[in-house]
Amino acid sequence: MPFHLRFDARDLLRVRFAISPLWETQAAVRLALRGAGRGYHLPWLRRTRERAAALDLGPVGLLMPEGGHIPDFWSPPPPGPLATFEEELARVRATDPAVARKEMALALADTPGAARSRTGRTLLADPENAVALLADRLRHAWEVLVKPDWPQLRALLEADVAYRSQRLADGGLAALLGEFGPRVRWRDSTLTVNGTRGDHERVLEGGGLVLMPSVFVWPDLAGGYEEPWQPALIYPARGIGALWRTTGPDASEALARLMGQARARVLGALTDPASTTGLAERLGLAPSSVSAHLSALRAAGLLASRRQGHRVLYERTPLGAALAAGGADPEGNG
């Protein structure tokens, strides 16, 4: 079923990007509970299986009906470009119990018998306590499932935001949305996303839209968000095909033969965005040499650059990440 977001001129000026560790956490929980068909994430699923089994995710899982409503209050769009997990969890804990009860009831109604189960009745009977319980469960999931990999995940998400921001600047919103696949359509100032949970329509009225790349949402798109939350579209980040792959000695040697030892070292060292000076210090090379290698790698389409204050940061493109990972799909799409 589709959701429709109707824009006016004010909304076009309030399209922004955000990264949410809390969203990734609840999406990781859903993947851990219903991991079938998530081929790109199989290495992660295998690695975290025992840790996930030790978590008490029953109350969270009950509110994650397959193809149904999932509460918005436990992963609302962050107010800024990159909130910390603690900042986001504080917002969850501050949720109005009446709002939480309404959303939990919608989620439970999408699973036959869930509202009449012991856990379902307990959640609805005391929504204030339920909010605290769910926040605690999400914190445990963050610590066990996501936090150990967060630097790597954040680097990939930030690289996606840098790429999409440039695409937005180059071609406008319609061109950017067109890259999200045939399920997303922009027509007559209306964004339509097909194949989502529920059938929604919302007039934005100047509230704008949050675009959020996600690792664990693949292969789906998600979003919508009812009031009081700002509308958001969560889409698969580029490059996830190379995310869980490791570079073995053979791949590293092949990469060095392809582009030279020095440039292979520079590409391999860019596990997160870095400046010329930062990379030079990390690698023990002269900044002028690193600058020359960065320019060559950027010209070959393996790196992208963006300005942050007075610094220029370099990061791998999906093609660069795939080469560094030993031959994964450069687009992250299979």
* pTM of the complete model: 0.73
d(CA 3, CA 5) in angstroms, rounded, equals 7
Give me the residue label for tokens 């070292």.
265
CB contact set of 126 (below 8 Å; sequence gap of 6+): none
The residues spanned by each domain of the chain are 3-17+152-241, 21-148, 242-325
Q: Along the 334 residues of the chain, how does pLDDT read in single tens digits?
A: 678 888 888 888 888 999 999 999 999 999 998 875 577 788 888 888 888 888 999 999 999 988 778 898 988 888 888 889 999 999 999 999 999 999 999 999 988 899 999 999 999 999 999 999 999 999 999 999 999 888 888 878 888 888 888 888 888 888 888 888 888 888 888 888 876 655 678 888 888 889 999 999 888 888 767 777 788 889 989 877 767 765 444 556 777 788 888 898 898 888 778 889 888 888 888 999 999 999 999 998 889 888 877 788 898 887 787 777 654 333 333 3
Q: Which letter, b or e, does each residue of 17-56 get, where b requires 16 or more Cβ atoms within 10 Å of its Cβ?
A: bbbbbbbbbbbbbbbbeebeebebbeebbeebeeebeebe
193: three-class secondary structure by DSSP: strand
Any idea which architecture 242-325 has in CATH?
Orthogonal Bundle (1.10)
Q: How far apart are the first and last CA of the chain?
A: 25
